[in-house]
Amino acid sequence: MDLQQLFQKEGKQLIKKKHEHVFMQGDHDYCFYFVQSGLLKGYYTLETGKEFIKSFVQSQDIIGSLSAVYLEKASTFSLRCLEETTLLEIPYAVLARYGKQYHCIANDIIDLLLKFALKKEQREFEFLCLSAQERYALLLNSSPQLLARVTQNDIAAYLGVTPVGLSRIKQRLTHQVTLT
Amino acid sequence: MDLQQLFQKEGKQLIKKKHEHVFMQGDHDYCFYFVQSGLLKGYYTLETGKEFIKSFVQSQDIIGSLSAVYLEKASTFSLRCLEETTLLEIPYAVLARYGKQYHCIANDIIDLLLKFALKKEQREFEFLCLSAQERYALLLNSSPQLLARVTQNDIAAYLGVTPVGLSRIKQRLTHQVTLT
DNA sequence: CATTAATTTTAACTCGGGTTAATGTAAATT
DNA sequence: AATTTACATTAACCCGAGTTAAAATTAATG
C-alpha cells in the first residue's frame, strides 16, 4: 500500500466551492488533504491586512499545516479554493498510525517531506538571490498553465510584490523582449 | 538507538579549520554531517560572483545537501567553516539502511525533515512578508549570540542585502529606538 | 443589455536598497 | 611598530518597488 491508496481508503471526500476555505489561519486543523481536482492558495494574512501567498496547491498535491498538525499549534496560514475543488481529508493521527505499522508508508512520508523541503528550499533561494523580475520570469517559464488560471493580484501576492509592481515588471519584460 | 547515537557509532570524525570547506557547490557529496562543535555557513554563489547565505550551521545541527544526497545531483550550495569545526560524517546510504531496519531511526529522520521543513517555511515567510529591516530585527531578537560570532558581511548575505544596506538598517533601528 | 463590481494598467511621488567610492577602524602579517 | 588586508560606516546618485489615485479594461450580475 502506498500513501495515495491510503488516502483513497481512509480519506473523507470534501467538495468545496470557489472561495470556500479548507481551514483558516489560527485554526487547529489536524488533517492532511489530497487534492483530487481544482486549485487552492495557501496564504498568510498580516495584522496590517496584507495578504501573501505561500503556495498554490494543485491536483495531486498533498497539503496540510505542518505547524498545526505536527506542533499542534494554530495554523500559520489559511487555505482557500480558487476554483471548485475536491479533496480527500485524513487526520494526521491516522497517517502516523499507518506509518508506524507499514514501512512503505513511512517511506512515502519521508519522500513527501523531502519533496516539500526541496520545494521550500528552492523558494528560499529565489527570494534570497533573485529580484522580483527574475522570480516572475522563472515562474512564467516553469508554470505558464498555472499563471493562466490565477489573477494578477494573486501572482503578485505569491511573488511578494504589489499588483502595481507586477504590472510594471510585465511591461519591462515585454519591452526588453521586443527589443531583441 | 536514535539518530545521534547512530552518528556516534558509524560517523567518521572530521576536524576542519576556519575557512575550510566541507563540500562545494557543484560537488556530488552523498553525506550528512552532525556538528559536534564550531560554526559553518551554507551559501550560494551566483554566476555574477555574488554570495548569499542559506543558513548558519551550529553545534548539534545536522546538515547535508538534499539535492546532492537525495536527488543524486550536484550540490546547489557550498558549506564552509566560519570557525574551527568538528563534524561526524555519515553516508546517506548508511542512514537509509538503518532507517529501513529500525523504526525509531525512520521516525528520527521524519522528525529531522519536519524540523527542516518548518525552518525553511519560516524563512520563506520572512522573505515573502517582511522587509529587510523587519528580518534583521527578528534575527537580532532570536539569535543575538549567533550575530556576535558572525561578520556584518555574512549577516547581510544571510538577510539578502548588501553590507551597505545592512549598515543603514542598523542606523535606522538605533535612531528609532533612541527616539522612544 | 446595462450597470456594477473586480481586475489591470498608468502616472506622480516617495522611499528603501543597490552601486560606487571615500573614509574610518580593526586584524593580521611581516 | 608599520604596513597590508579585511571589515564597517558614510555619502552621492540611481533605480526598483510601494503608495495613492485615476483611467481603462474585463467579468459578473440584475
pLDDT value for B174:
81
- Confidence bin at A176 (pLDDT 50/70/90): low
B18 closest-nt by C1' vs CA: C28
pLDDT value for A177:
57
- Confidence bin at A180 (pLDDT 50/70/90): very low
Q: Provide the angle, in degrees to the nearest 10, between the axes of the packed helices A152-159 and A163-179.
A: 90
Q: What does DSSP assign to residue A83? A: S
Report how far residue A138's alpha carbon sits from residue A129's, in angstroms, rounded to the nearest whole number: 13
In terms of pLDDT, which residue wins out, B174 or B45?
B45
- Confidence bin at B160 (pLDDT 50/70/90): very high
Q: Does pLDDT of A52 surpass 70? A: yes
User: In this predicted model, what pLDDT tens digit does every residue of B106-140 receive, in sequence order?
Assistant: 889 989 999 999 999 999 999 999 999 999 999 99
Residue A151 falls in which region: left (phi positive, over 0), alpha (psi -120 to 50) or beta:
beta
Strand C interface, protein residues by Cβ within 7 Å: A 151-153, 163-164, 166-168, 170-171; B 131-133, 160-162, 164-165, 168-169
User: In this predicted model, what pLDDT tens digit does every residue of A89-139 receive, in sequence order?
Assistant: 999 999 999 988 888 898 899 899 999 999 999 999 999 999 999 999 999
Q: What is the mean pLDDT of chain B?
A: 92
Q: Does pLDDT of A63 surpass 90? A: yes
Domain boundaries, chain A: 3-119, 130-180
Report how far residue B89's alpha carbon sits from residue B69's, in angstroms, rounded to the nearest whole number: 13
Q: Does pLDDT of B180 surpass 50? A: no
**Chain A neighbors of B113, CB-CB under 8 A:** 110, 113-114, 117
Q: Does pLDDT of A147 surpass 70? A: yes
CATH of domain B3-118: 2.60.120.10
User: Dihedrals φ, ψ of B71, to 5°?
Assistant: -90, -5
The residue whose grid cell reads 536514535 is: B2
- Confidence bin at B176 (pLDDT 50/70/90): low
Q: How far is the CA of A167 from the C1' of D23 (A)?
A: 15
Burial of A178 (0-12, 13-18, 19+ CB in 10 A): exposed
The residue whose grid cell reads 522570480 is: A135
Contact B44 A103 (CB under 8 A): no
pLDDT value for A179:
41
Closest C-alpha to B3, from B120, B118, B115:
B115
CATH of domain A3-119: 2.60.120.10
Share of chain B above pLDDT 70, in %: 97
pLDDT value for A124:
95
- In chain B, how many H helices and how many E strands? 8, 8
pLDDT value for B70:
87
